[in-house]
């Protein structure tokens, strides 16, 4: 035994499975890394360089995410209804109540500066009080109307795809946080599978020490370890009994856990009330939203002023009342997103949606649930496996030259 351990050839041969294990680990680590990084292309376009697979195809990946995942979990109409338009209206009034008097004075002063200064203080207080009385009901009507027409006011797919196109790091996180355990497994399993392949490689090398054995097996290790890891993650789709064991793809076994983690991310950074309202006011259909806001809120001050009858008519005239309504409408559109810059309220409404999405995701069939993670491997998967093979080939050549000496 001592002579065997002292034999340099023994250690050279013994190194083969360990090198294969390292190659398997390294190639899988590189494959995972190159799936997500770098966010921007590095190198000389078009061929000399690299950009992460997901960031390089951000538009396509975002579209796949929307079509295969978000649309299966619910419609925009459902999302807005679950957020409770009446509760939103109460929040908006509470958020703007302290500024209503200042906004009323601003609108009246800039529209009729000389006249507003002459209006008696009791009349001004009365107009402001009427604005406060009318506003809650008008906000409630506005939110209910918006909820009924939300599909007309928001291009849901465009909103989500644009958000993920612009924030590629967030797009990465949708996959990374859903499949964190699986990505760790891919890297670790490279070492396990690589070592096992290395034992086969060792047996072949002992029986047939040809120069091509180490490079070819190195390439096979780099290719096969990645392929095996992906198969174990996603196959079989449904639980299958094999002897005393029940097996299923690793990712699919974690459906409840993944749903909980993923839904928190989506409802805190993508599908938020703030983003929905911003899209309404600034998105593709903003003209429809502006018309809706002006129709519901424009008459608020006008009606408050008109409540004073002859005094109002004398102060601003009939044409002036119409100008006031237009001014109120413009101001309402201008400040419409302000009440939603409020993290606690956004998170409170987000938790409602999170619970709904999580329940639905946990009930998704495996064929649909795998689409949460599978697309990030399907895009250019052959490139990543090929790179693993090339790195394994180079490692085999290096082992042949530096460990066993040049042929």
Strand, helix or coil for residue 42: strand
pLDDT of residue 2: 42
pLDDT tens sequence across 337-396? 999 998 999 999 999 999 999 999 999 998 888 888 877 666 666 766 777 777 778 777
Average pLDDT of the residues of the chain: 82
pLDDT of residue 325: 67
Q: Among 67-81, 165-179, 255-269, which is the least confidently predicted range?
A: 67-81
User: Would 229 be classed as within a structural domain?
Assistant: yes
Domain extent, residue 197, equals: 2-402
Max Cα–Cα distance, the chain, nearest Å: 116
Residue 164: Cβ-neighbour burial (10 angstroms; 0-12, 13-18, 19+):
buried
d(CA 17, CA 21): 6
Q: Among 13-17, 153-157, 361-365, which is the least confidently predicted range?
A: 13-17
Q: How many CA atoms lie within 13 A of 333 on its CB side?
A: 19
User: Would 114 be classed as within a structural domain?
Assistant: yes
Strand, helix or coil for residue 43: strand
8 A C-beta contact, residue 143 and residue 276:
no
| Distance set, CA 334 to CA 86, 116, 179, 294, 339 (Å) | 22, 23, 41, 11, 12
> What are the percentages of helix, strand and coil residues in the chain, rounded to 5?
80, 5, 15
For the chain, what is the domain count?
1
Most confident of 126-135, 155-164, 193-202, 219-228: 155-164
Kindly give, in sequence order, each residue whose CB lies less than 8 Å from that of residue 32, ignoring residues fewer than 6 positions away: 183, 186, 187
pLDDT tens sequence across 300-315? 776 776 655 555 555 5
d(CA 393, CA 402): 14
pTM above 0.85, yes or no: no
Q: Residue 247 — φ and ψ, nearest 5°?
A: -115, 150
DSSP states of 95-111 as a string?
HHGGGHHHHHHHHHHHH
User: Would 147 be classed as within a structural domain?
Assistant: yes
Residue 167 tokens, joined? 């924030």
User: Cis bond leading into 8, ω under 30°?
Assistant: no
User: Would 407 be classed as within a structural domain?
Assistant: no
pLDDT of residue 6: 44
Cβ-count burial 208-246 (b if 16+ within 10 Å, e if not): eeeeebbbbbbbbbbbbbbebbbebbbbeeeeeeeeeee
Residue 184 tokens, joined? 């760790």
CA atoms 354, 355, 361, 362: torsion sign: positive
Compute, in degrees rounded to 10, the torsion defined by CA atoms 194, 196, 198, 200: -140
């Amino acid at each position: 035994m001592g002579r065997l351990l002292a034999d340099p050839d023994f250690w050279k041969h013994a190194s083969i499975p360990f090198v294969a294990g390292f190659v398997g680990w390294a190639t899988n680590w590189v494959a995972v890394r190159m799936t997500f990084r770098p966010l921007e292309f590095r190198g000389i376009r078009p061929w000399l360089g690299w950009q992460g697979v997901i960031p390089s195809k951000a538009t396509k990946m975002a579209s796949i995410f929307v079509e295969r995942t978000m649309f299966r979990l619910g419609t925009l109409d459902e999302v807005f209804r679950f957020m409770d338009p009446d509760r939103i209206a109460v929040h908006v009034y509470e958020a703007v109540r302290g500024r209503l008097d200042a906004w009323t004075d601003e609108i009246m002063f800039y529209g009729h500066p000389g006249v507003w200064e002459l209006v008696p203080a009791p009349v001004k207080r009365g107009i402001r009080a009427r604005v406060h009385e009318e506003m809650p009901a008008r906000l409630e009507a506005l939110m209910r109307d918006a909820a009924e027409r939300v599909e007309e006011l928001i291009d849901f797919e465009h909103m989500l795809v644009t958000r993920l196109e612009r924030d590629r790091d967030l797009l990465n996180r949708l996959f990374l946080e859903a499949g964190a355990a699986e990505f760790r497994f891919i890297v670790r399993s490279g070492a396990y599978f690589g070592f096992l392949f290395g034992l086969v490689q060792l047996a072949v090398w002992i029986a047939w020490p040809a120069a091509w054995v180490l490079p070819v097996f190195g390439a096979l290790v780099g290719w096969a370890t990645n392929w095996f890891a992906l198969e174990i993650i996603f196959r079989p789709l449904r639980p299958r009994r094999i002897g005393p064991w029940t097996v299923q793809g690793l990712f699919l076994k974690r459906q409840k856990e993944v749903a909980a983690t993923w839904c928190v991310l989506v409802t805190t950074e993508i599908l938020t009330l703030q983003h929905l309202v911003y899209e309404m006011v600034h998105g593709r259909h903003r003209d429809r939203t502006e018309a809706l806001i002006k129709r519901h809120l424009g008459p608020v001050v006008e009606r408050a002023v008109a409540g004073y009858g002859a005094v109002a008519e004398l102060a601003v005239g009939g044409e002036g009342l119409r100008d006031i309504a237009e001014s109120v409408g413009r101001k309402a559109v201008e400040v419409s997103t302000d009440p939603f810059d409020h993290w606690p309220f956004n998170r409170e409404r987000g938790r409602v949606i999170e619970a709904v999405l999580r329940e639905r995701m946990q009930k998704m069939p495996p064929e649909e649930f795998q689409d949460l993670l599978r697309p990030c491997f399907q895009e250019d998967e052959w490139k990543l496996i090929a790179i693993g093979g090339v790195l394994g080939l180079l490692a085999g050549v290096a082992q042949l030259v530096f460990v066993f000496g040049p042929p």
